[in-house]
Amino acid sequence: MSRLDTFAVRRLGPATHASPLQLATTSTEGIPRWVDDDVRVLAEIEVSSQRAEPPPATFEKAGPRARLYFDPARTHAAIVTCGGLAPGLNNVIRSLVLELHHRYGVRRVTGFRYGFEGLTTSGVPPVALDPEAARAIHLFGGTSLGTSRGPQDPEEMARTLLDRKVDVLFGIGGDGTMRALHAISGALARRGAKVAVIGIPKTIDNDILHVDQTFGFETACEIARQAIAAAHTEAIATRNGVGLVKLMGRDAGFIAAHATVASRDVNACLIPEAPLSLEGEGGFYAWLVARLRARGHAVVVVAEGCAARLLDAAGAARDASGNIRYELVDVGHFLRDGIHAHLAAQNLAFALKYVDPSYMIRGVPANALDAALADTLARHAVHAAMAGRTDVLVGRAHRVFTHVPLEAVLEGKRIVDTTGALWLAVLEATGQPRFSGAAG
């Protein structure tokens, strides 16, 4: 399958129902217009002028369509939230319900409880969702539907959807959720079932492929910067003070990098993507000693995924979704203890304060920008579902909202490009070396 084929979006069938939305058919001033099916969004915005390029890969543009696959009056929609918490989950649920109810006239919306477990026979019974049930949930963190981790049988989940006569399933979650939705979509397709499966990306790590930003990320960086500010205050208040902050970032260091640039008080930012050696003349410990002797304090940010580089995580315990349980292989505690041992061996008087704001970051309500992003993703998800798109994620690329086939989403993860502008900004903000362990 070519890359262009990978970005082709599946459709349940021809769209024959007129949309109830009141939009313009032409570029009428002051009135939004429909999105035509042939409008595409470039996957990459940079091209080389030095060689012939193949035809650019493109995504289908998200937005309302004039013709719908589903008759809104007969449509039964369902929502499920999965995986870890992120700011904005309740905003997405609420916006899905309001868009379905008020804009499309869908009167039957079901909320499956506690993740994909709710789509199994052992799950808690689902709940009915309407504007009154969703009225104030956006004011609170977490998810009003509950969440869980762990694999469930896609065949059983497909049967549940068919038994309950669900026409549209909205799944809100990270890469594990998208993998499950893709499997559910496949199980439904094998049965010839015309059920739309739509993914809405949720991970504060911001590492979903082909999505430039996930909801919750802005809030996470904001809370992370507050934690860094507290660590900086502690560090400068004592002789040779060290403020160590561990931030979330299982496979990617986006939160650590963005919070570091926003703070401008961080002296070293350690992420999974960048080289990191602790020992040796060019290693982190030698740098820290030199920093304390020269400046009398240091603030260090470390992403949790650095455990995979610094610790033996191969045999580490994993959660029900298969992710390494970094709270059990904790790079923050490891680095804290290593700093203590190394500085003590140098006969250097110091005071170290360790800050881990992980659950504060996950459980708070969304800030204004994340709330707006969550709302827009939800509305575009409803547009996609009602038009008959399926096995697709609604994302954003270059600040334009797109339809991305789930198959393409699952090809990998976004990571910090250590040759790119973000990491350059981190290096310029901190002044840190490579921490390669080699001299020089």
CA of 205: how far to CAs of 31, 87, 134, 259, 352, in Å?
A: 36, 12, 26, 12, 27
Burial of 437 per CB tally in 10 Å (0-12, 13-18, 19+): middle
CB contact at 8 A, 438 and 282: yes
- Find the distance separating the first CA and the last CA of the chain, reported in whole Å: 46
**Amino acid at position 263, single letter:** S
Over the range 202-240, which residues count as b (16 or more CB within 10 Å of their CB) and which as e? bbbbbbbbbbebbbbbbbbbbbbbbbbbebbebbeebeb
Distance (Å, whole) CA 77 – CA 129: 10
Over the range 353-392, which residues count as b (16 or more CB within 10 Å of their CB) and which as e? bbbbbbeebbebbbbeebbebbbbbbbbbbbbbbbbbbbb
Q: Which of 270, 254, 339 is nearest to 302 (CA)?
A: 270
Distance (Å, whole) CA 105 – CA 107: 6
Q: Tell me, yes or no, if 337 is annotated catalytic.
A: no
Q: Which of 242, 370, 367 is nearest to 298 (CA)?
A: 242
**Amino acid at position 79, single letter:** I
Helix (H, G, I), strand (E, B) or coil at 334: helix
Angle at 333 between CA 332 and CA 335, to 5 degrees: 65
CB contact at 8 A, 245 and 386: no
User: Which residue in the list 205, 251, 265, 375 is annotated as catalytic?
Assistant: 205
Distance (Å, whole) CA 198 – CA 178: 9
* The pair of three-digit structure tokens given for residue 81, joined into one six-digit string: 């939230």
Helix (H, G, I), strand (E, B) or coil at 91: helix
Helix, strand, coil percentages for the chain (3-state, nearest 5): 35, 20, 45
Residues 6 or more apart whose CB falls under 8 angstroms from that of 114 comprise 123, 124, 145, 146, 147, 148
Helix (H, G, I), strand (E, B) or coil at 277: coil
Q: Which residues are annotated as catalytic?
A: 205
